[in-house]
Amino acid sequence: MQLNFEPKAHSCVVYDGTWPSWGIEMGKQKDEARKLANQLCFAVYSTAHAFNKVYKPLLDPLGLTYPQYLVMLILWDEDEVTVKQLGQRLQLDSGTLTPLLKRLEANGLVTRRRSQADERRVVVTLTEAGKALDAKAANVPRDLFCLSGMTLDGLNQLRTTLLALRGELISSAE
């Protein structure tokens, strides 16, 4: 069963213990809302797992995990980025990011050094091997697009919708 609730901006208010109408009997609405199959969060969560499964064979030949690939995407676009900037762009805390960067450094793809201007800042830079890996990873986005089975317009619309949802959720959590 597909839920047909279309909320207006910030109008998800429940009065007198009733639920928004999903085109089903009042007594069953609460039960339908609680089913796993009707959870948007589970659809996003399980899709993230599907992404990881699809990315793995694309990234294994590069010696990268998906989170490492995300760091490398930033560095291939803009070398010499602080750990703080990486964390902000990836929405990761330093406790998650530091071990990831240590592995990339141990694999010879990046270096980490203290900024001479401000020793509190750690700057991450690509090594020659890290720069060379960019060319080897060039087809990953195209391959993922082909594996998605979606049109480019469909993927762009989905990305736009997900970014808007993420923005609303972050605003709501603050």
pLDDT of 173: 81
Give the pLDDT score at 117. 83
What mean pLDDT comes out for the span 11-19? 48
What is the average pLDDT across 19-45? 72
| pLDDT at residue 10 greater than cutoff 70 | no
103 pLDDT more than 60: yes
The pTM (predicted TM-score) of the whole model is: 0.80
pLDDT of 95 over the 60 cut: yes
Q: What is the mean pLDDT of residues 64-75?
A: 97
Residue 107, classed as helix, strand or coil, is: coil
Asked which of 10-19, 38-47, 101-110 is least confident by mean pLDDT, the reply is: 10-19
Q: How far apart are CA 61 and CA 166, in angstroms?
A: 31
Cα separation of 63 and 162, whole Å? Answer: 29
The pLDDT value given to residue 87: 96
Q: Residue 137 gets which letter from DSSP?
A: T
Q: How does residue 32 score in pLDDT terms, banded at 50, 70 and 90? A: confident
Q: Which ranges constitute the DSSP H helices of 66-139?
A: 66-77, 83-90, 94-106, 128-136
pLDDT for 4 equals 43
Give the Cα separation of 161 and 131 in Å (integer): 33
What are 113-158's pLDDT values in tens digits?
A: 998 888 889 999 999 999 999 999 999 999 999 999 999 999 999 9
The pLDDT score that the predictor gives to residue 123 is 95
Q: Is the confidence at residue 43, as pLDDT, over 80? A: yes
Q: With contact defined as beta carbons under 8 Å apart, do 33 and 19 qualify?
A: yes
